[in-house]
Structure 1
Amino acid sequence: LLRRDPNLKIAIVEPSDHHDYQPAWTLVGGGAYDVSKTRRPMASVIPAGVKWFRAAATRVEPDANVVQLDSGVRVAYRQLIVAPGLRLAWERIAGLTETLGKNGVTSNYRYDLAPYTWQLVQQMKSGTALFSQPGMPIKCAGAPQKAMYLACDHWRRQGVLGQVNVEFNLAGAVLFGVATFVPPLMEHVKRYNANLAFSSNLVAVDGPARIATFEVKDANGNVTRVEKRFDMLHAVPPQVAPDFIRDSQLADEAGWCEVDHATLQHPRYPNVFSLGDVCSAPNAKTGAAARKQAVIVAENLLAARAGAPLAYRYDGYGSCPLTVEKGKVVLAEFGYGGRLLPTFLLDPTRPRRLMWLLKASVLPSFYWWGMLKGREWLTRAARG
């Protein structure tokens, strides 16, 4: 926005003192990345020329054009960009919060727990390893199964995979939402001899007893509770919109910030735009999506300020580098309706070392020095 109009007065409401590169936490859990390299001071990534309110938003009043902060300050705005991400609802799985980080229970969805995942994987020589995936939407829909693939690959290399009972419990009915990528993923599921339990949703964990409870739905919609013993459990929490958005007039029926799926403008409050995990657009919630959406929002917001038509359209682009083994990645890139949107002129379904190098080496630098600096490399913003 500032590169397009340096005279804009912009405020950022952000309570955190650090900023995390979360896509690398899967690699941390697989022993392939240093967790300390995923975190930097928030002050180092706040753009020059903006005012930083170091507080949390607690309420949005779109009729009054005001955001209420937990510091007591009320911030007025002419235009609002809603991009707080989503909330990890750990509390929705009974007993999970109390046992995270001990009793063999971990999750790559937290900075402090991803190293524990790798510790558990290294220690495991036999027994049962359970991996869970909640109902959609979640951020980086491939991350729960990537944790399984990297763990299995390590056990295979150590010669102990045959002694480990691996099971992936998915609340949904498919392994991955874009059908094109299911066959290559299934090849690795079979290679690792992992069991898939569909329509199996983690609802409770008894850490000391090493028992996970799942609600399992049959073909007729009947739900039963099944207890499964584990030696290691990689749990992924349900994910919801932040309360101050869900409880506001900006929310749709599911609690997400409602937007036009193409322009990313709010349908009822034209001075409000949204991007990232919180917006209601039916795309995969990934960092790659936010990178493309940022350009759409910048262009369309300035057009709205000028009273001009909103010329830019978001095609639903998202990217999920599916890490199927240490050193190999299937780069899934797709848009609305599962339409493939590959960046490279290569078969996107093939696991490649090149894509591993992209995931582990190129993209982190691309994030810190490109995306967070407002550079628009490979954004392919499209005009309507």
Structure 2
Amino acid sequence: MKSHHQVLIIGGGTAGIMVAAQLLTQKRAKDVAIIEPADTHYYQPAWTLVGAGTYDFDKTARPMSSVIPKNATWIKDKATGFDPENNIVHTASKGDITYDYLVVAPGLAYDFSLVPGLGKAIDKGVVCSNYTNPKHTWDVIKNFKGGTALFTQPTTPIKCGGAPQKIMYLAESHFRKSGIRKKTDVIFATGGTVIFGVKKIAKTLMEVVDRKDINLRFHHKLVAVDGDKQIAWYEMGQEITAGGCVVISSNKVDDLKLDEKFQYNYKDVKVSVDGNRYGIHYDMMHTAPPSVAPKFVKDSTLVNAAGWLDVNHQTMQHNSYANIFGLGDVAALPTAKTGAAIRKQVPIVVDNLNLLINSHKMGTKSYNGYSSCPLVTDYGKMVLAEFDYDNNFTPDPKLKRMLISDSSKEHWRLWMLKKYGLPYLYWNKMMKGKDV
């Protein structure tokens, strides 16, 4: 006998729990089940602060049993595949589960094979990532004695696109406090072409970069890591026009004609060249892991050509199967993968599910791509980048209540929001299905 549920949710992360909680607290569905194998639910946005030694890792964890809504059925198992024609989800040990409506929200997965050598090097020695082990990041930053501090990221979509640079700003502050900043070069190497896609935020961040004397390297596509030799290998995402001086260190500084499309605030750190690859030698490195949809989603008929869940950008309804919705990090939505985005996606999914269950029609609510990235720029300072699908700066009017007139500028009140306000809202409002 297969088990059957009116609404089946895959994933006990931010998206899955919020959808379940809102469906049940607002009495929008009678029977909700969540497939989730993990025992622990993490509040990952605080991991930036853990990596900078200013938040307790243990406070970011709660038992999964405490966040799954009381009236929901917890299927403690892994989803392994889909049969959408027959409304079936396959699981690792509980067999097939059928549904009337399916919500796919398992988050994303890390695929280290996309950057050879990184999997072997990460979370060991001087290579760290707030995404995988923020406690190790703090150890690396604390024990750093100077040299090249490289902050970088892969070219895949990642959770919270701003996170690889937030930890850099905090690390730079720590190096200053601990007296090693003078013998340190801080480098940010990214496959992107700008520091941030929203112009107003980019302007503020470039001021932070100037204040902190950080070398930005654009068009740098991370392709391999040599953990033994401590070299991060890059290919250029665009042809170099300025005679190659842009990325190769030269002893004659006068010879350097900097092309600011590639480098800003050049630092003469050790670089090796191997064919068309440039290797930056690091004394510490922080990166985000290359990210993909979980294998069981990627290998299914539910994804688009890029391998992400193929959903309508406004309604989050699947483009081929009307009774399937997807949201959160797994969804092929052209906006940043953040908890703030999920906060705006959930009510639309819940509204549509409610209308489909009760009247077999879709609602008129539409998601505009809202996402936000709390960009911590220093201990005690933060900028809040809020934007939509078109990268318009779209500040939440609720911030005016915190007496913040312009959240694109650094502010200590925004830091307080990040460190105290948002975790409180997360555990006590978002996880409980209350509108925030």
Q: TM-score range by the shorter chain?
A: over 0.9
Match of 1:339 among 372, 384, 392: 392
Aligned twin of 1:238? 290
Compare CA radii of gyration and give the structure with the larger one. 2
Deviation at 1:201, TM superposition (A): 2.0
For residues 133-169 of structure 1, the C-alpha deviation after alignment (integer angstroms, 9 at most, x for no partner) is 1224211000000111110011123332121011111
Contact 2:29-2:354 within 8 A present in 1 as well: no
Aligned twin of 2:7? none
Aligned twin of 1:141? 161
Deviation at 1:7, TM superposition (A): 5.5
Deviation at 1:340, TM superposition (A): 2.0
Match of 1:193 among 204, 208, 213: 213
For 1:242 and 1:298, the matched residues in 2 are separated by: 23
Instruction: Indicate the SS of the match to 2:170.
Output: helix
Deviates more, 1:237-246 or 1:319-328: 237-246
Contact 1:134-1:172 within 8 A present in 2 as well: no
Aligned twin of 1:34? 56
Deviation at 1:296, TM superposition (A): 0.8
For 1:325 and 1:54, the matched residues in 2 are separated by: 40
Deviation at 1:50, TM superposition (A): 1.3
Q: How does 1:40-189 map to 2 (within 5 A)?
A: 40-110=62-132, 113-189=133-209
Contact 2:107-2:329 within 8 A present in 1 as well: yes
1:328 aligns with 2:381: yes
Q: Which amino acid aligns with 1:327?
A: G
For 1:180 and 1:369, the matched residues in 2 are separated by: 32
> TM-score, normalized by length of structure 1?
0.94
Aligned twin of 1:209? 229
Instruction: Indicate the SS of the match to 1:118.
Output: helix
Deviates more, 1:34-43 or 1:303-312: 303-312
Contact 1:217-1:224 within 8 A present in 2 as well: no
Deviates more, 1:134-143 or 1:356-365: 134-143
For 1:118 and 1:309, the matched residues in 2 are separated by: 47
For 2:25 and 2:128, the matched residues in 1 are separated by: 42
For 2:224 and 2:368, the matched residues in 1 are separated by: 38
Contact 2:325-2:349 within 8 A present in 1 as well: yes
For 2:316 and 2:199, the matched residues in 1 are separated by: 26
Contact 2:155-2:222 within 8 A present in 1 as well: no
Deviation at 1:300, TM superposition (A): 0.7
Instruction: Indicate the SS of the match to 2:205.
Output: helix
Deviation at 1:308, TM superposition (A): 2.9
Q: Which amino acid aligns with 1:301?
A: L
Match of 2:44 among 12, 19, 22: 22
Deviation at 1:72, TM superposition (A): 4.9
Deviates more, 1:143-152 or 1:100-109: 100-109
For 1:341 and 1:370, the matched residues in 2 are separated by: 22
Deviation at 1:336, TM superposition (A): 1.6
- Name stretches of at least 5 consecutive residues in structure 2 with no aligned partner: 1-22, 245-274
- Name stretches of at least 5 consecutive residues in structure 1 with no aligned partner: 378-384
Q: Which amino acid aligns with 1:370?
A: K
Deviates more, 1:139-148 or 1:333-342: 333-342
Aligned twin of 1:355? 414
For 2:290 and 2:156, the matched residues in 1 are separated by: 8
For 2:125 and 2:228, the matched residues in 1 are separated by: 6
Aligned twin of 2:433? 374
Q: Which amino acid aligns with 1:325?
A: D
Contact 2:150-2:284 within 8 A present in 1 as well: yes
**Number of aligned residues:** 375
Deviation at 1:220, TM superposition (A): 6.6
For residues 151-209 of structure 1, the C-alpha deviation after alignment (integer angstroms, 9 at most, x for no partner) is 00111233321210111110121211212211110111111211111111222222222
Instruction: Indicate the SS of the match to 1:312.
Output: coil
- Alignment RMSD, CA only? 1.7
For residues 118-143 of structure 1, the C-alpha deviation after alignment (integer angstroms, 9 at most, x for no partner) is 12212223111111112242110000
Instruction: Indicate the SS of the match to 2:225.
Output: strand
For 1:270 and 1:4, the matched residues in 2 are separated by: 22
Contact 1:161-1:192 within 8 A present in 2 as well: no
Instruction: Indicate the SS of the match to 2:152.
Output: strand
1:259 aligns with 2:281: no
For 2:294 and 2:68, the matched residues in 1 are separated by: 22
Aligned twin of 1:382? none
Match of 1:247 among 290, 295, 299: 299
> TM-score, normalized by length of structure 2?
0.83
Q: Which amino acid aligns with 2:236?
A: V
For 1:232 and 1:164, the matched residues in 2 are separated by: 10
